Chain A
Amino acid sequence: MAEKVTIRKLEDMGSRMVDEIERGDGPTFETVLRTKSNTIYDEGIGCLRTGDKKEQRKFLSMAQAKTFMQTVSIAAKTRRFVKEDLHTSIRGLFYQLKFSLGEDLDEDLFSEQSESNALIEDLEVALGIKREDLNLTTDRKGFVAGPMIIKDKFGGDETTIDCTKQGRSGWSIPSDVDNGMELKEVDADYVLVVEKDALWQRLNEDKFWKKENCLVVTPKGQSTRGTRRLLRKLADKKLPIYCLMDCDAWGWYIYWTIKTGSMNLAYLGRDFSVPEARFIGVTMKDIRDYDFLQKLTIKAKEVDIKRAEEMLGYPWINRHPEWVKELKEVLKTKKKIEQDALQGQRLTFVGEYINQKIKKKDWLP
């Protein structure tokens, strides 16, 4: 059981510290350095992950004493959450821990929520667990529609969810798709990820997922941990993951976070990245291929240009000649195009477009 592993890891951490104290040493724990310099691109897997540089946290250090104590507090508190099978948000945890350190001390254990975020990451890395394992929830944002049946054990009940029967709203992806969640049946041929909720609603109305026998997912902008984790699990089921984003800085960023993970959360590594993902559009080539799109382009903004230049410098991007060509074209034409433009001719054109792109394997890696 995943919960038992988590509890054991937390308790082991405490026991190791008590051992250190018994030996007459100050308590410590080891975590992995989460800096840009210790972020590497793992070519084998195709994702960003943290390197091997370790960092020791010490209680007997002026600079670390407080954060050390806070980290242990989080460990003790979340262990109880897991034991009692109760979930809360980081904010909830923050309020659980926001109490005074003592009557004579004018200091709270935590005074800002931002203090706790980095410490949770410390714990995740040090123990090799995810915050979801600690029963810490994050905000939900993504939606799914299509042939997938899920078993959800939650709050003492077990519910079966059919993602074809979620009406216009779709199934809302929870923050944790691992603990108490089971992808019972996935009967789709592929997964389509569309950047915007608006397009997702359009495709849902068209029953695109039924016609194509696919899962239509929208992260609604940048993907949450839950959405990324779900896509990873679907990719593990050998489903191709196709992404349809805007052809601009934000769209590319959303795509690459799904594919390789982000620099900020590089420590999450493979479990939160989908190197198999493909970028079906919108591309610069589409503008050439579909006449009507030419009139629907927008002038690229400075942020788009800057982002394109940056991307050309990332080894995990410039190793793909297709992307180099794409980005260079953006820099040359200084144009961008939104996925919504695909509805410019006919509302139902989007479906045809996706279908063609996948059939012709007309995508960027």
Chain B
Amino acid sequence: MTDGDEIFKQFKEHSVAEFFKKNQQMLGFSGKVRSLTTVVHEFVTNSIDACEEAGILPDIAVNLEELGEEHYRLTVQDNGPGIPKTHVGKALGQMLAGTKFHRYIQQRGQQGIGASGCCMFSYLTTGKPTRAISRYKGTSYELEVLIDFKTNKPLLNMLSESPTEEHGLTVISEYKGVSHEQSNKGIFEYLRRTALANPHATITFTDPKSGRMVLPRSTEVIPPKPFEIKPHPLGISAHDLLEAAHHFSEYRKLSALLQNAFSRVSAGKVAELRQVVPDVDFDKNPSKLTWEEAEKVVKGFGQVKWIAPATDSLVPIGREQIENSFRNIFSPELVVVTERSPKVYKGGIPFIVEAGIAYGGGIASAGKQGEIMRFANKVPLLFDTSGCAITETVKSVDWKRYDLKNFDEEPIAVLVNLASVHIPYTGAGKQAVAGEEEVEAEIRFAVMEAARTIQRYLSGKRHAHDIANKKKLVERYVEQLSSDLADLSGSKKDRILKKLTQIIEEKYAAEPSEEEIPIESEDKKPKAKEPETEGDE
């Protein structure tokens, strides 16, 4: 188990609480259903990330109580390492102070606004502080957390402290003006998809409507830890560069910042940059860097040939894991999962696409028809469906070619997970993926590859079904025909019946398949660029 202290060393402070208070929608707090799902998302992803980093199989319990009309109390409890007392304020009561901000790593939450944002949202709607119980290194303490919006500092009220053998974090918060429903955008669906993408987690959900529902883990194997890599120059924006300058204040020169904060930037590459961007002083203090200069540097990044970023930092869910969790959660008739090899988009950002198709069986009984389950780094995306490249791409597949006449009415669920150190979200809400050409091509290939197997299965099944039907139809008349023929010819009925049955068995067993399986050639489609493999660091 990793020492929790390691994680919390990297807290950075930011004074943005006031800004987010005014721009709640940026955090996903818009819409009554969405707001509640967002809250659950923030706490649950934090819990899974914490468990994963500490090497613990996550056991997460989400409990929703209805306190009044559009008034709920949410309790999220995990068995992670817990939070040390010194960091709990930053974790829950300070905006942009998360453990993950400024770390270039493929994780579920990419910004640290989540949990604190929820506490803020809770306070704004109910006037109440968020209560946390942390069981960390033998001590359990309970406290209340608020955010001072003016200073973006946490206000803590310590309630109790006692020794414990357990570890983990419990966060209890209340919300008003939100609603809970069992829709495709509701909490249960969110948790179900989270479980789908995190087969090593057991998630329990208790709500006022359905009671307790358990989504048990289907594997005991904790996914490999994604290791941290520095951002690649091709994946960052002017804004990222300025933020890096702000956070890595120890570097006095821009050239030093670039070489230390980003990957693949050597002294030689800085020299090349100086050539390409002559009007920027690479020796200036990074804290003095202006927006215009940052833009020029980023533009310069595009003109220099870089070694591609390492792709081994990508952690997909895994073919077997997706198959298992589909079976575990939906018990479909058939599951097909394809995993593509790593590719890059925007000339340098590595990503991997995984696609899984589950057909029939429990998919039908779960009422799922033509369902597209979108994931970014294993996090389910429930909102902004129509604006998402995953949705668009999956819908653009000519499903009729795969014997799925009407995609929206078939008992089918298509899972697409995009794993990348930098997901190209369309907006701050992080619910939709932008249409990067290479990413779309990969999604398309992955889905089509899986669809071909489904098609083969369906056509075989239909053919077998047809034959069986034909046989059945003929068989039901055999008895009568044999008896009439015996009557007419004077032969023994039993012999005619036996012979005739034998003829039918042979005929319908030997009939070959007439269906051809259309194979869609990938060559006709635009190819995603292969990552340059000049070598690794």
Contacts and interface: CB of A to CB of B under 8 A. Distances in A.
A66 interface: yes
A75 interface: yes
B481 interface: yes
B5 interface: no
B474 A62 contact: yes
B480 A109 contact: yes
Interface stretch (B224-232, B246-254, B384-392, B500-508): B500-508
A17 B507 contact: no
A75 to B, nearest CB: 6
B479 A18 contact: no
Nearest to B483: A76
A69 B476 CA distance: 10
A274 interface: no
Nearest to B487: A76
A11 B503 contact: no
Given A14-B487, A68-B481, A69-B481, A60 B504 contact: yes
Interface in A324-338: none
Contacts of B470: 62
Interface string A66-91: 10110011011001100000000000
A101 interface: yes
Interface in B452-498: 470, 473-474, 476-477, 479-481, 484-485, 487-491, 496
Contact of B474 (A13, A21, A65): A65
B514 to A, nearest CB: 14
B489 A72 contact: no
B474 A17 contact: no
A155 interface: no
B474 A59 contact: yes
A25 interface: yes
Contacts of A166: none
Given A59-B474, A101-B477, A24 B503 contact: yes
B485 to A, nearest CB: 5
A21 B488 contact: no
Contacts of A62: 470, 473-474
Given A26-B507, A105-B476, A107-B476, A72 B488 contact: yes
Contacts of A109: 480
A27 interface: yes
A22 interface: yes
B480 A11 contact: no
Interface in A136-151: none
B520 to A, nearest CB: 32
Contacts of B87: none
Interface band, chain B? 20 to 34
Interface in B291-349: none
A15 interface: yes
A24 B498 CA distance: 11
B488 to A, nearest CB: 3
B499 interface: yes
Interface in A76-116: 76, 79-80, 101-102, 105, 107, 109
A22 B491 CA distance: 11
Contacts of B473: 62, 65-66
A243 interface: no
Contact of A21 (B479, B484, B500, B507): B500
Contacts, number: 83
Contacts of B507: 26, 60
B474 A73 contact: no
A76 B488 contact: yes
A10 interface: yes
Contacts of A59: 474, 477, 481
B480 A10 contact: no
B487 A18 contact: no
A21 B487 contact: no
Contact of B503 (A14, A60, A105): A60
Contacts of A26: 503, 507
B502 to A, nearest CB: 8
Contacts of B500: 21, 27
Nearest to A11: B488
Interface string A41-70: 000000000000000000110100110110
A10 B485 CA distance: 10
A14 B476 contact: no
B488 A69 contact: no
Interface of B is mostly: helix
A27 B470 CA distance: 16
A13 B480 CA distance: 16
Interface string A220-263: 00000000000000000000000000000000000000000000
Nearest to B508: A60
B480 A101 contact: yes
B77 to A, nearest CB: 56
A214 B107 CA distance: 110
Interface string B25-58: 0000000000000000000000000000000000
B503 A25 contact: yes
A113 B264 CA distance: 87
B334 to A, nearest CB: 28
A65 B477 contact: yes
Contacts of A68: 477, 481
Contacts of B489: 11, 14-15, 17-18
Contacts of A65: 473-474, 477
B512 to A, nearest CB: 16
A22 B477 contact: no
Contact of B484 (A24, A76, A107): A76
B487 A79 contact: yes
A118 B203 CA distance: 66
A69 B483 CA distance: 10
A18 B496 contact: yes
A10 B489 CA distance: 9
B480 A69 contact: yes
A221 to B, nearest CB: 37
A101 B473 CA distance: 12
A75 B503 contact: no
B481 A72 contact: yes
Contact of A73 (B476, B484, B496, B506): B484
Nearest to A19: B489
A76 B485 CA distance: 7
A25 B503 CA distance: 7
A72 B490 CA distance: 14
A109 B477 CA distance: 9
A80 B499 CA distance: 25
A215 to B, nearest CB: 41
Given A11-B490, A60-B503, A60-B504, A18 B485 contact: yes
A72 B503 CA distance: 18
Nearest to A15: B489
Given A15-B489, A24-B503, A69-B477, 16 more contacts: A15-B488, A18-B489, A21-B485, A21-B496, A21-B499, A27-B485, A62-B470, A62-B474, A68-B477, A69-B484, A76-B484, A76-B488, A79-B488, A101-B479, A101-B480, A109-B480
For the complex of A and B, 7 pairs with smallest distance between CB atoms:
A14-B488, A14-B489, A76-B484, A69-B477, A76-B487, A15-B489, A18-B489
Interface of A: 10-11, 13-15, 17-18, 21-22, 24-27, 59-60, 62, 65-66, 68-69, 72-73, 75-76, 79-80, 101-102, 105, 107, 109
13 contacts: A21-B503, A27-B500, A59-B481, A60-B474, A60-B507, A62-B470, A65-B474, A68-B477, A69-B477, A72-B484, A76-B485, A76-B488, A102-B476
